[in-house]
Structure 1
């Protein structure tokens, strides 16, 4: 299952964008957005998010 961003919790720090090895995460305005078709389910973004706004669902 691809990563999912909780838009209410995301602070827009972009750490997940930098951590994604396949560049599946981008910023949509001030919030992170995951391209589910490109996500390889590695969980790097979940580990790096300081506010736990990303989950593997």
Structure 2
């Protein structure tokens, strides 16, 4: 559970850190999430995770 919370917070930071005046490139955001979270989880559990980001526009 703790790992999931850490991942959730890390994803929130990745999304919020973008420029609010520029449109979000979904593919760039997906790749950024996949790479950052993949590295983060690998460091924690020493296994390669399968990260499947889903970005939904609202």
**TM-score (normalised: structure 2):** 0.34
Q: By percentage of residues, which structure has more strand?
A: 1
**TM-score (normalised: structure 1):** 0.34
Say which one has the larger Rg. 2
Q: By percentage of residues, which structure has more helix?
A: 2
